[in-house]
Amino acid sequence: MMQGHSHLQLFILYEALQSLSDIMDVIIFKHSFLTVSIFLLWTTGLTDGSDVNQTDMLWENRETM
């Protein structure tokens, strides 16, 4: 026999720990996503448009037929 804990109590404790684990996984994912996002936004060369080349043809006004 178990020492002072019923099967129901252990099941409830297990479910609570699983829920806590799921919440921690979400928090860790959000923190990681935010960290990577900030790094990518502040990295020079990724956001300053230096690698963007567009031809003038894209911006010419064309008359429709």
- Residues in contact with 51: Cβ distance below 8 Å, sequence separation at least 6, in sequence order: 45
The H or E element containing residue 40 is: helix 7-42
HEC-encoded secondary structure of 8-33: HHHHHHHHHHHHHHHHHHHHHHHHHH
d(CA 39, CA 58): 31
Chain segment 47-60, per-residue pLDDT in tens:
566 666 666 666 66
Global confidence as pTM: 0.47
Residue 39 pLDDT: 86
Could you give the C-alpha distances from 48 to 23, 38, 44, 59, in angstroms and in order? 36, 14, 6, 20
